[in-house]
Copies of this chain bind each other. A is one copy, B any other.
Amino acid sequence: MTTAKLNIVPFVSVDRMMKLVNVIGVERFLTELAGYIEEDFRRWDLFDKTPRIASHSHDGVIELMPTSDGRLYGFKYVNGHPKNMRQGLQTVTAFGVLADVGSGYPMLLTEMTILTALRTAATSAVAAKYLAPRGARTMAIIGNGAQSEFQAIAFKALTGVDRLRLYDIDRSASRKCAKNLAGMGFDITICETGQEAVEGAGIITTVTADKQCATILTDNMVGSGVHINAVGGDCPGKTELHRDILLRSDIFVEFPPQTRIEGEIQQLDPDHPVTELWQVIAAKAQGRRDAKQITLFDSVGFAIEDFSALRYVRDQLQATGLYEELDLLADPDEPRDLFGMLLRAAVQPAA
């Protein structure tokens, strides 16, 4: 390790993240990121796994999501405050850090609001690669908020979805989604109801934002053979699907101890059988078994996906130069002389 710039941590701001996604291209970014996620899911056993550490309050939650593969350590700070939208704030904002386990020094600080939407979409599309009915090209998206376009593009890139049926209780959200996706190769229909949206869809994505037990999908809306990508239900008391759908589905999850608290399956008995997605990806468990089966990916978002995203972003820094240098770490000339560094700073000319 060189002794130069030990104080510096590369920082990817929101502006740089947008440039990074645009320089790489959002489809390629999602495809490559999905590759990192699959790679990390295949070596699942290596990771330190703890459920996220949540601090709940009346209006929302602030969470820390750490994990490590023994060489790298990553964590994400993320909040979830549904009321924020009414005040012109994001429901979810996030940032994260990747660090070197050997020295404990941070190697990357990055915005993760955009990156979380990307990794969530990439993970959903990875799950669908293994679970969705073969050749499904039509996807219903119920909930057309901040994550909807990312989901659509990830499914296009990874599974070949090119027909979208959009529904949102606020029609302007659907119009926003359709407008943003214009010219990207989708055939898009804006629907009047959730029921209309799911007609003919082989994949149903639910990605609504309300913090409550809602019933975005009722039992009669879900026919045999579909794949449900349930993204919006991701904390205690927030679900989107009617319990009866869950009972008819084969359920795939990221990390059962977390999903049983936060996911759709919080509605089920604590020992209801589920399959871990990583086992499907690692060929240790079966994904879709037949054409009539309803598969359900009960997505809540797990720390390993953020870890993959942090790794991916870190690997793009050198080639793109899209980062700033943050003076985050005290680096005295002599490690034991932290106070001396402070003293010497006092006599330096002001910067």
Interface residues of A (CB under 8 A from B): 1, 3, 6-7, 11, 13-15, 17-19, 21-22, 26, 48, 50, 53, 55, 57, 59-62, 64, 66, 68, 70, 73, 75, 77, 79-81, 84-85, 87-91, 93, 95, 97, 99, 101-106, 111, 113-114, 117, 144-150, 173, 176, 179-180, 326-332, 334-343, 345-346, 350-351
Determine which of B1, B62, B89, B148 lies in contact with A6 in the assembled complex, contact meaning CB atoms within 8 Å: B89
22 contacts between A and B (CB under 8 A): A1-B87, A11-B326, A14-B331, A17-B330, A19-B351, A26-B342, A48-B55, A55-B68, A57-B68, A57-B102, A64-B75, A79-B103, A79-B104, A88-B335, A90-B338, A93-B329, A117-B339, A146-B332, A146-B336, A146-B338, A176-B337, A180-B339
- When distances are taken between beta carbons in the complex, the residues of chain B under 8 Å from A59 are 101-103
Given contacts A81-B103, A103-B84, A176-B340, contact A90 B53 (CB under 8 A): no
Determine which of B7, B68, B111, B173 lies in contact with A14 in the assembled complex, contact meaning CB atoms within 8 Å: B7
Copies of this protein in the assembly total 2
Determine which of B80, B105, B146 lies in contact with A337 in the assembled complex, contact meaning CB atoms within 8 Å: B146
Q: Which residue of B lies closest to A77 (CB)?
A: B97
Q: Which residue of B lies closest to A118 (CB)?
A: B342
- When distances are taken between beta carbons in the complex, the residues of chain B under 8 Å from A21 are 342
Given contacts A64-B75, A337-B176, contact A330 B90 (CB under 8 A): yes
Determine which of B50, B80, B104 lies in contact with A81 in the assembled complex, contact meaning CB atoms within 8 Å: B104
- When distances are taken between beta carbons in the complex, the residues of chain B under 8 Å from A331 are 14, 90
- When distances are taken between beta carbons in the complex, the residues of chain B under 8 Å from A351 are 15, 19
Determine which of B1, B50, B89 lies in contact with A335 in the assembled complex, contact meaning CB atoms within 8 Å: B89
Interchain CB contact under 8 A, A64 and B53: yes
Q: Which residue of B lies closest to A179 (CB)?
A: B340
- When distances are taken between beta carbons in the complex, the residues of chain B under 8 Å from A328 are 13-14, 95, 111
- When distances are taken between beta carbons in the complex, the residues of chain B under 8 Å from A75 are 64, 77
Interchain CB contact under 8 A, A104 and B60: yes
A173 to B332: give the CA distance in the assembly, Å.
Answer: 14
- When distances are taken between beta carbons in the complex, the residues of chain B under 8 Å from A173 are 336
Determine which of B17, B81, B104 lies in contact with A62 in the assembled complex, contact meaning CB atoms within 8 Å: B104
Interchain CB contact under 8 A, A62 and B327: no
CB of A244 to closest CB in B, whole Å: 30
- When distances are taken between beta carbons in the complex, the residues of chain B under 8 Å from A326 are 11, 13, 326
